[in-house]
Structure 1
Amino acid sequence: MAGTRPIPTPLWKAAALSGMASYLDAGLIVAISVNLAIYRDSYDMGVWMAGAISAIVTGCIAVGSLVGGRLADLFGRRRVYNWDIFCFALGAIVITLAPDDITLLIGVLVAGLAAGADLPTSLAVVSDAAPSWARGRLVAFTQVMWMLGITVAIFLGFVLSTTGMTGARLITGQLAVAALVTWALRSRLKLTDEWDTGEHERNTGDGERDTAQQEADAAPHSTPLKNIWTRAALLPMTATFVFYVTWGLGANTFGQFGTYLLVTVSDASQSLATGINLAFIPIGVLLTLAFVRVADTPWRDRLFHVAAVVQILAFVIASLTAGALVGMLVFFVLYQLSNPFAGEANYKVWSQLTLPADTRGTTQGLTYALSRGVFAVAAFFTPALADHSPSVLLWTITACMTAAAFAGVFIIRVLVPRSAGAVSDRADLRVSST
């Protein structure tokens, strides 16, 4: 079985460093979610201001994805890959030290743009570095990092739930430190960028490149924008967008407002709300690791069908109970059991398998950007809608999850079989063994 073939350690290292984009993306969204009630009290915010902050986080990630993915295809994925995470660190520092809501918004703006830029770029980098028989597992591993970002933010939120703004600053401060460390490690990671040169590299016996080849790799090679508007790119881009935007409306709502909804709708305390989120996270982490194991096998898509049904059931129960605490507990159990096999990890793998290699940065940047733009609009209205009618909010999300299931089935039955064998087994970016 191809999925059991061992993957070299340098490729796992590249996947982990690329996965830090997902760690920081998830960490930023969840950190704002965990801290939102604290920010509201400390900065005297109303429901509309709280919604605006969450909307700006998601909106900036959307814009960053659109711009960053295109810049990576224009000027070299390696160059953008190395620097956008440094910009994230600067934004996270501003958020951490913000004395008021205006400064907070500035930090969110910078960090959100940088996080968005890093998402499609880092996925393209790890996808290009991977041979086809390992691509699914390496791309899926970035989802483990996404879960880790959620876990750390929620764990710190729980531990520091009684410390007010001091705890809030520590939660966002760890993101800044993580970004700086990743930037330093990425800068030393040896990658060979075929898409910057237009030809395969010449490898020496020890895996190092000669100086002339390194200079050639650094030269930008523009991918024509017209390549995006072809059937080969548009159909998978549209299908993966529909899946991600409908699934993400539910996932993003609970990612940004899970703690907020438990406190304001389910009448849980801040400590209990963060504790509930934390208690169910290990299930998600373990099952995401299980998804990595099957990501290059037929079981990846077989399990999707079952998980999608369970995921819909989870939201139905939350909707029927109108967000009551007991119903939310059942929801969290079912959601954590199903999400790893019918969520963002599938979107990431499907995107790399079905999108043309030369436009992966741009096309996935578009799907990320459009989706996050929708999430931003939804986030702006979510606190007010939850205050008006939790049932309407939850049933709307249930409908979105149902639509995502149908989109996923289309991708599995139509697009993935079409793309089988179309992805080159030769790496577009090779990782040095040193």
Structure 2
Amino acid sequence: MARSGRRTTGWRATVAVAMSNYIEAGSIIAIATSLGRWQERFGLDDLAVGLLASLSANAFGAAAGAAIGGPLCDRYGRKFIYTYDLLLYMAGVLLAVFAASYGMLLAAFVLTGIAVGAGVTASWTYIAEEAPAHQRAAHVGTAQLAWSIGPMLGYLLAVVVAPLGLLGSRLVFAHLFLVAALTWWVRRGLAESEIWRSRKESPSEHFTFLSSLRGLFTSRVNFGAMVFLVGVYALWNAVAGQAGIFQPRVYEAAGFTSETEQYLVQVLLWGCTSAATYLGFMLLADRVSRRWLYCGGAALGVFAWVTLIYAPASTWTLLVFAIGWGVSSGVGAQAFYGLWASELFATRYRASAQGVLFLAARMLVGLVSVGFPVLLTQIGLKGLGVLIIGLLVGSLLVGTIWAPRTQGKSLEQIERERYGPAGVRSVGAAWSGGRPAPAGRRSAAVEPDRGRSRG
């Protein structure tokens, strides 16, 4: 495959690809901090605001991009997505910068959402495939780190430009355009994933756009992994998606009405997420038991939301939530999802699987987003508390009980263990649930994680 310019490899390539996550999170925060101003500018009701949120990079827009981008990424390569997705993204954010009507704004959010969905699924896939087996969590964690830095800087920018009103919100979108342009320039030197190139050159790997999707649902081993990851990520993301885009409204419902205070608390929250991603996930997830690291992060998230929803409104309540949810997000469901989703699928299915999973997660966020602002107004945060806590507890249980034992193993080794000697052609391989797989094999799907494994 032809390469343009100087080749970008190693950690530089990881960082360049991880910027998809900065752009995704930055888009969500740009929307979150501007929704109130757009609502006032265009005279929108809560339902129209919910539609903006649900069709954006936070929900349906990203879902559509993932559903399209995942199979394309498996069919034409990881680099193919990077050639075009940021161009679409830049068009979308420019439309937001100059939006003069609700229709223009809605179109902008949809375009950026599609670009984000395609880019993020490709980024997790590429980073995992290029990372050394003993440092895969560290490299995949870079995407999570970029995802947490995006909101931290986004909220800081929102505080700085707040006196400018809607113009300030437009400037936040403009900064995303500049970041996307710089990232696109750096990515020109990316080499194609070596694992994908070797699979693509194999005569057995010729397939159509739809065949990889069909393989996800006809193979028990693929379908079982998808069910597991939906439980881990989609349930958690249904809460995190509302927190990302409606958090200022959540704070207001909890009794904290100062906009500046809300934004500064979010800076603290995302600063804790960044620190926990590096110190907790990137440094530890290749060395300690992933099961218990995940369990600790998920349990802390449940505690943080219980505190915000049910404890009396006070500065301490706000600080406990910000620190608890921030640290939880750094070592919780999204970081582990990015890692496990890359490990549990064969190369020909990897990006398609992430596209389908991202689609499911963002569809759920979108459905909740349509009614969330209305319900928040009508029944309050305590009324929504049972749903929020129930979703988080579900994600905690699924990830803790069925954590896969893939640590320290190469992607090729994991693939052989899960699919058998016949590789991806062995579509009848069973989802063993930690029990011995057929023919004396042990599946890496849900075998208990007891700490570091040898690759």
TM-score (norm 2): 0.82
Cα contact 1:133–1:425 (8 A) shared by 2: no
Q: 1:259 aligns with which of 238, 245, 248?
A: 248
Q: 2:111 & 2:289 partners in 1: Cα distance?
A: 39
CA shift in 2, pair 1:174/1:221, >3 Å: farther
Equivalent runs, 1:132-171 vs 2, <5 Å: 132-171=133-172
1:94–1:107: 8 Å Cα contact kept in structure 2?
yes
Q: Which residue of 2 aligns with 1:286?
A: 275
Distance 1:263 1:330, change over 3 A: same
**Cα separation, partners in 2 of 1:419 and 1:233, compared to 1, 3 Å:** farther
Choose the corresponding residue for 1:372, options 345, 362, 370: 362
Cα 1:50–1:192 change in 2 (3 A) is closer
Q: 1:197 to 1:281 in 2, by over 3 A?
A: closer
User: Is 2:336 aligned against 1:346?
Assistant: yes
- Alignment partner of 1:401 is 2:389: no
Partners of 1:324 and 1:383 in 2: CA distance: 23
Q: How many Å apart are 1:160 and its aligned residue?
A: 1.5
Instruction: Give distance in 2, aligned partners of 1:324 and 1:370.
Output: 36
CA contact (8 A) 1:353 1:419 kept: no
> Could you tell me how far apart the structure 2 residues matched to 1:27 and 1:147 are?
9
Kindly state the Cα deviation for residue 153 of structure 1 after the two structures are TM-superposed.
0.9
- Give 1:89 shift: 1.1
Report the aligned-residue RMSD.
2.5
Letter in 1 for 2:267: L
Aligned-pair CA distance for 1:62: 0.7
Ranked by relative contact order (alpha carbons within 8 Å, sequence separation 6 or more), the top structure is 1
Contact kept? 1:239, 1:407, Cα under 8 Å: yes
- The residue that corresponds to 1:118 in the other structure is 119
Asked if 2 retains the 8 angstrom alpha-carbon contact of 1:76 and 1:221, the reply is no
Shift of 1:328: 3.7
Shift in CA distance, 376/325, structure 1 to aligned 2, threshold 3 Å: farther
**Aligned with 1:296: secondary structure?**
coil
Opposite residue 182 of structure 2, the aligned amino acid is: V
With over 3 angstroms needed to count, the CA separation of the structure-2 counterparts of 1:249 and 1:199, relative to structure 1, is: closer
2: distance between equivalents of 1:60 and 1:306?
A: 32
Which consecutive residues of structure 1, in runs of 5 or more, have no partner in the other structure?
Answer: 1-8, 202-218, 427-434
Q: CA deviation at 1:323?
A: 6.9
2:383 corresponding residue in structure 1: 392
Tell me what 1:303 maps to: 293
State the distance in 2 between where 1:302 and 1:11 align: 29
Q: Which runs of 5+ in 2 are unaligned?
A: 1-7, 415-455
- Structure 1 window deviating more from structure 2 (221-230 vs 12-21): it is 221-230
Counterparts of 1:220 and 1:117, CA distance in 2: 22
Query: Quick check: 336-345 or 362-371, which moved more?
Result: 336-345
Paired residue type of 1:59:
F
CA distance in 2, matches of 1:43, 1:392: 29
The C-alpha deviation readout for 1:81-123, integer Å capped at 9, x for no partner, is 2211221111111111111221111111111101011111121
Alpha-carbon spacing, 1:102–1:264, altered in 2? closer, same or farther (3 Å): farther
Equivalent residues of 2:39, 2:49 under 8 A apart: yes
Out of 183-192 and 230-239, give the one that drifted further: 183-192
C-alpha distance in structure 1 between counterparts of 2:173 and 2:89, whole Å: 11
Give me the TM-score of the superposition, normalised by structure 1: 0.86
Q: CA deviation at 1:233?
A: 1.2
Q: Is the 8 A contact 1:59 1:373 kept in 2?
A: yes
Equivalent position of 2:102 in the other structure: 101
1:274 aligns with 2:276: no
Distance in structure 2 (CA, Å) of the matches to 1:267 and 1:276: 10
Distance 1:138 1:155 in 2: 26
Alpha-carbon distance in structure 1 between the residues aligned to 2:249 and 2:337: 27
Give yes or no for the alignment of 1:14 onto 2:13.
yes
Aligned to 1:204: none
Mapped contact 1:314–1:330 kept (Cα < 8 A): yes
Is the contact made by 1:75 and 1:222 (CA closer than 8 Å) also made in structure 2? no
Asked if 1:330 corresponds to 2:304, the answer is no
Q: Which is worse superposed, 273-282 or 221-230?
A: 221-230
- Counterpart secondary structure, 1:268: coil
> CA 1:131–1:156 in 2, change beyond 3 Å: closer, same or farther?
same
8 Å CA contact 2:79–2:190 kept in 1: the answer is no
What's the offset of the Cα at 1:22?
A: 0.9
Contact kept, 8 Å, 1:132 with 1:425, in 2: the verdict is no
